[in-house]
Chains A and B, each alone.
Chain A
């Protein structure tokens, strides 16, 4: 199937943004408020199709970030901006809060074994919460409050009875990272921007120390401003321009997802155990509800040397289980429906690298964006638009900019009366094709014909949740493929899960050459 939809790249653009993840699309939306002449290039088959899609949906407050770093500042600022950031996009933002739980494990044994038990108890109950509060307030996080053990058990009944105290951070939020990115990209397109998927940047054109355009596997675009928001590949893109000098070292994060029916309200806020003096660059993960209400545990933090390694190992699954058996002793292990893994894109010094290149004028790096990149996205966009305005993007906002991105209807969230009206208008909304998530044919068709059209099974899944439920596509797999094939006018055998090479069906029945010895399986491999 043609993933390009026959669209030609434009010869020129005022701004080219490389990478259609949360960072690239947030920046694009700021740019499009000032000029419609923005092009977003993405090598995957969909927006949000790399690191963003495996993000665990948390809008962090910044409490876990090292004081004074760029990512700490942008995180605190981003969290503050979030409500206005999502306004008009039709994407729910939930402020569920974060409960930081202090347990006897909070202070490592080698620090406490020479102390009297009562002193350790006092430290845990009184001193550690104060340290957390002071640390958070210094970073500018509003609304923090200490919790007693009793308050913890009332708020979160499944938390271990070993909990001695805690801190509640009410600003923590949840937002679907891929739905938000899709909505941002769609809002950009509705305001004149253009998004090209399955389009890989292969070179950056630079003349006399100034960027002049990008080279892709489908042609060139001349542009005076290029923003590098290429995630784990940002170092390679920067090298192409001669504006590099940093290295992205991929770090894997795996999370486990549980059946919503069983785990709804299992935790109401995000819950994390506070462990002091621990090595590692991850915040340690937690238990949290997803934007859709499933329980999620994770993520892990494992260094890898492969930017494509989105696998999850038995050891990682075990590590997550071991960690959360302590925090949530009765968590419903058997209700696990999915495990997924994404690649973070940290730099060596673990901070964001955001700024106009000194070596190449017009080239702007937005690199090293790992967690809390989702939370920081509004602030990153705010910072980058300031930089771009310095490079020539108009300062005044367009009079015709429309912040609203109409969201398609979600059958499962409507009242029965609204459902009836929808079905009357289009009977396909009465045809439920995904039983677990109650997704209708009408919604799948909407996704396929949306502003950023869904061309693959995964793209449909991200927009509608088809196949994300407890049966993981066992019931709806073929139905979704059939609708994709019908709407795109292709044979169902050309439908892919996520672009080239990810074929879903091998052919029609009776289409295989049946070998003489077909009754002796194993063939050449056995």
Chain B
């Protein structure tokens, strides 16, 4: 083993979150920064997202995934940020000791003064949603299919059923169709689509691909390759209704059934995870429960827009720089509570309420004509009206530190979504 390298900051993962965090820390004046990724190029999952729709907030223009990533990659190229590609982090300890491996250097140990976790998320697989049936070739997750087609230039199937209407599933329905494959339909367990409305319109409606809400796949057929699936409607408790079962011939079942923040390393380091988001508890600087360890992007919770990933990463990068350069220590922490029709809020804690904070939150169920509010103590800090809110679409509110502390330091902060007429 080589000598332990001790940079000011190490960032694990060079997707949109890692790139932005490293850059933000560099701009804040941090010197020795190391960016580690397991892939052979920077950009993470954005490189396979060749559709557009990225960047409307951060760049005020609409970019493809690779274009969005390239803006950051170009900027990084102009800095002295060190990049370690094709490198897999194998282990992480609470004292920030990273054990990693690559073909060039062999085993490497890195113990940075600060650390940003930016590993993103992974897809849920077939058995996590317990689809019965055989185990043939041809059951694939939508993100893996996207990589096959857009990076490796290979088609995982000809005739598909897609289960799950998350954004990747919707985008892949269109992508498969454009490649000449047949998409029989998209089936969604819930009574509302899992992805953004714009993706339902642009990826399904525009291509006449049917979306079957309140449906699921109840059996996978085929011993060697998928020969078809049984689909069925589900009742209110999401159980299949046997009388509605029908066989759909296909050679591929493509799953878009949710993403899980990739926190195996975080757990090794003893980072406390929020059971609701499956990501670390963080404060407004995206610092986790372990001192000097920050987290951002989809490792914290699965964001819907890359722009939010970037913003959360900028907070984390700044936080890490500040931690190293000023020795800022976190004190106390005000709990941020999800109020009415709010499933969760990130950050979950506020360490310093005198700063401006971006709150990201999701509703529990769809609702029309609502107001989203941030309340500090008894004071309303922000309020924003929405015509319609849906669980897949993340809500965001920026609260100024001035307002948060208008009546002194609040004992708790609540984020709630209320009917516009219920408003106090």
Q: Which residues of A contact B (CB under 8 A)?
A: 257, 261, 308, 310-314, 316-317, 334, 336-340, 416-417, 419-420, 423-424, 427-428, 430-432, 435, 438, 457, 470-475, 477-478, 482, 492-493, 496-515, 518-523, 525-526
A478 touches B147 (CB 8 A): yes
The interface residues of chain A lying within 8 Å CB-to-CB of B225 are 497, 501-503
The answer on a CB contact under 8 Å between B133 and A311 is yes
A357 CB, min distance to chain B CBs, angstroms:
32
Question: Are B207 and A506 interface neighbours, CB within 8 A?
Answer: no
Question: Which chain A positions have C-beta within 8 A of B132?
Answer: 311-314, 316-317, 339
Q: Tell me if B106 is interfacial: C-beta within 8 Å of chain A.
A: yes
Is the CB–CB distance between A508 and B155 below 8 Å? yes
Question: Is there contact, CB below 8 Å, between B101 and A475?
Answer: no
CB pair B143–A474 under 8 Å, yes or no, is yes
Q: Does B122 contact A (CB under 8 A)?
A: yes
Among candidates B101, B122, B157, residue contacting A432 with C-beta atoms closer than 8 Å: B101
Any A CB within 8 A of the CB of B397: no
The answer to whether A505 and B148 touch across the interface, beta carbons within 8 angstroms, is: yes
Are B38 and A497 touching (Cβ within 8 A)? no
CB A462 to nearest CB in B, in angstroms, measures 13
Given contact pairs A502-B224, A515-B180, A310 touches B134 in the complex (Cβ within 8 A): yes
| A432–B144 CB distance below 8 A | no
> Which residue, of B104, B122, B137, B267, has the highest number of chain A Cβ atoms within 10 A?
B137
A446 to chain B, nearest CB (A): 16
Bound form: Cα–Cα A513–B179 in Å:
9
Residue of B nearest to A333 (CB): B130
Cα-based distance from A498 to B249 in the complex (angstroms): 21
Q: A419-B106, A497-B224, A498-B224 are in contact. Are A431 and B125 (CB under 8 A)?
A: no
Q: Is the CB of A525 within 8 A of B177?
A: no
Residues of B within 8 A of A473 (CB): 144
Q: Which of A423, A505, A519, A525 contacts B154 (CB 8 A)?
A: A505
Q: Are A509 and B153 in contact (CB under 8 A)?
A: yes
Residues of B within 8 A of A427 (CB): 103-104
Q: Which residue of A lies closest to B210 (CB)?
A: A522
A340 to B180, CA, bound (A): 33
Give the CA-CA distance A419 to B106 in the complex, in Å: 8
User: Does A521 contact B107, Cβ atoms closer than 8 Å?
Assistant: no
List 13 additional A-B contacts (Cβ < 8 Å) besides A428-B103, A509-B179, A521-B182.
A311-B133, A314-B218, A417-B1, A457-B137, A470-B125, A501-B225, A502-B136, A505-B154, A508-B153, A513-B180, A515-B180, A519-B177, A523-B182
Residues of chain A within 8 A of B219, CB atoms compared: 311, 313
Whether B144 contacts A477 by the Cβ 8 Å rule is yes
- Determine whether the beta carbon of B107 is less than 8 Å from that of A423: yes
B126 within 8 A of A: yes
Point out the residue from B125, B180, B218, B223 that lies within 8 Å of A512, measured CB to CB.
B180
- A338 nearest in chain B by CB position: B127
Are A310's CB and B223's CB within 8 A? yes
Verify if B367 is at the interface (C-beta below 8 Å from A): no
Q: Is the CB of B208 within 8 A of A520?
A: yes
Whether the Cβ atoms of B156 and A505 lie closer than 8 Å is: yes
A427 to B103, CA, bound (A): 5
Q: A313-B132, A520-B208 are in contact. Are A336 and B127 (CB under 8 A)?
A: yes
Q: Which residues of A contact B144 (CB under 8 A)?
A: 473-475, 477-478
Q: Is the CB of A416 within 8 A of B1?
A: yes
**A519–B208 touching, CB < 8 Å:** yes
Within 8 Å by CB of A503, from B122, B135, B137, lies B137
Chain B at the A interface: SS class: mixed
With beta carbons under 8 angstroms apart, the residue of A501, A508, A520 that contacts B224 is A501
A to B contact number (C-beta, < 8 Å): 179
**Which B residues touch A504, using CB under 8 A?**
137, 156
- Contact between A511 and B155 (Cβ–Cβ < 8 Å)? yes
The 8 A CB mask of B248-266 against A (1 = contact, 0 = none) is: 1101100000000000100
Determine the distance from Cα of A147 to Cα of B204 in the docked complex, in whole angstroms: 61
Query: What residue of chain A has the Cβ atom nearest to residue B147's Cβ?
Result: A478
A residues in contact with B154, CB < 8 Å: 478, 492-493, 505, 507-509
Q: Which A residues are CB-close (under 8 A) to B103? A: 423, 427-428, 430-431
One of B99, B104, B127, B210 near A430 (C-beta < 8 A): B104
**Which of B90, B154, B225, B264 has its CB near the most chain A CB atoms (within 10 A)?**
B154
**B140: Cβ under 8 A from any A Cβ:** yes
Q: Who on chain B is nearest to A500 by CB?
A: B224
A519 to chain B, nearest CB (A): 5
**A418-B219 Cα distance, complex, nearest whole Å:** 45
Q: Given A471-B125, A512-B179, are A438 and B90 neighbors across the interface (CB < 8 Å)? A: yes
| B126 engages A512 (CB within 8 Å) | no
Inter-chain CA distance A416–B2, complex, in Å, is 11
CB within 8 Å for A512 and B133 given contacts A505-B148, A506-B156: no
Which residues from chain B contact A457 at a C-beta distance below 8 Å?
A: 137
Q: In the bound complex, do residue A506 and residue B137 qualify as a contact, i.e. CB atoms below 8 Å apart?
A: no
| Chain B residues within an 8 Å CB radius of A435 | 38, 88
How far in angstroms is the closest Cβ of chain B from A335? 9
Q: How many angstroms between the C-alpha atoms of A523 and B38 in the bound complex? A: 40
A507 and B218: CB pair below 8 A? no
B186 shortest CB reach to chain A, Å = 10
Q: Measured between alpha carbons, how far is A419 from B133 in the docked complex, in Å? A: 40
With a cutoff of 8 Å between Cβ atoms, the chain B residues found around residue A496 in the complex are 137
Interchain CA distance A478-B146 in the complex, whole Å = 11
CB contacts under 8 Å to A, within B179-194, are 179-185
Q: How far is the CB of A474 from chain B (nearest CB, A)?
A: 5
Q: How far is the CA of A496 from the CA of B105 in the complex (A)?
A: 34
- B1 contact set on A, CB distance < 8 A: 416-417, 420
Interface pairs (26), CB distance under 8 Å: A310-B223, A314-B130, A336-B127, A336-B128, A337-B125, A339-B127, A427-B104, A430-B103, A430-B106, A470-B122, A474-B125, A492-B154, A497-B136, A497-B224, A497-B225, A502-B137, A505-B154, A509-B155, A509-B179, A512-B181, A514-B180, A521-B182, A521-B184, A521-B185, A522-B210, A526-B184
> Cβ of B135: which chain A residues have Cβ within 8 Å of it?
310, 340
Cross-chain contact B127 with A337 (CB below 8 angstroms): yes
Chain B neighbourhood of A520, CB < 8 A? 208
A432 touches B207 (CB 8 A): no
Name the CB-closest residue of A to B185: A522
Contact between B130 and A339, CB atoms less than 8 A apart: yes
Contact A521 B183 (CB under 8 A): yes
Given the known A-B contacts A317-B130, A501-B225, are A477 and B140 also in contact in the complex, defined by CB atoms under 8 Å? yes
Residues of chain A within 8 A of B104, CB atoms compared: 427, 430
Q: Does B141 contact A (CB under 8 A)?
A: yes
B102 within 8 A of A: yes
Q: Smallest CB-CB separation from B140: which chain A residue? A: A477
Bound CA span A340–B99, Å: 34
B290 contacts partner chain A, Cβ-Cβ < 8 Å: no
A525 to B183, CA, bound (A): 11
Question: Are B123 and A521 interface neighbours, CB within 8 A?
Answer: no
B94 proximal to A (CB < 8 A): no
Q: How far is the CA of A435 from the CA of B12 in the complex (A)?
A: 14
**Bound-state Cα–Cα, A435 to B120, Å:** 13
The closest CB in chain B to the CB of A520 belongs to B208
C-alpha gap A523/B220 in the complex (Å): 21
B74 within 8 A of A: no
Tell me if B81 counts as interface (CB < 8 A to partner A).
Answer: no
Chain B residues, CB < 8 A from A512 = 155, 158, 179-181
Contacts of B153 in A (CB 8 A): 508-509
B152 CB–A CB distance under 8 Å: yes
Residues of A within 8 A of B220 (CB): 311
Nearest-CB distance from A483 to chain B (Å)?
13
Cβ-defined partner of B141 (8 Å) among A424, A474, A507, A523: A474
Please name all residues of chain A whose beta carbon is closer than 8 Å to the beta carbon of B143 when the two chains form the complex.
Answer: 474
B213 CB-CB contact with A under 8 Å: no
Q: Is B209 an interface residue (CB 8 A)?
A: yes
Which residues of A sit under 8 angstroms from B101, Cβ to Cβ? Answer: 419, 423, 430, 432
Contact status B88-A432, CB under 8 Å: yes
Q: A521-B183, A523-B182 are in contact. Are A432 and B38 (CB under 8 A)?
A: yes
Q: Are A337 and B128 in contact (CB under 8 A)?
A: yes
* Chain A: minimal CB distance from B248 (Å): 7
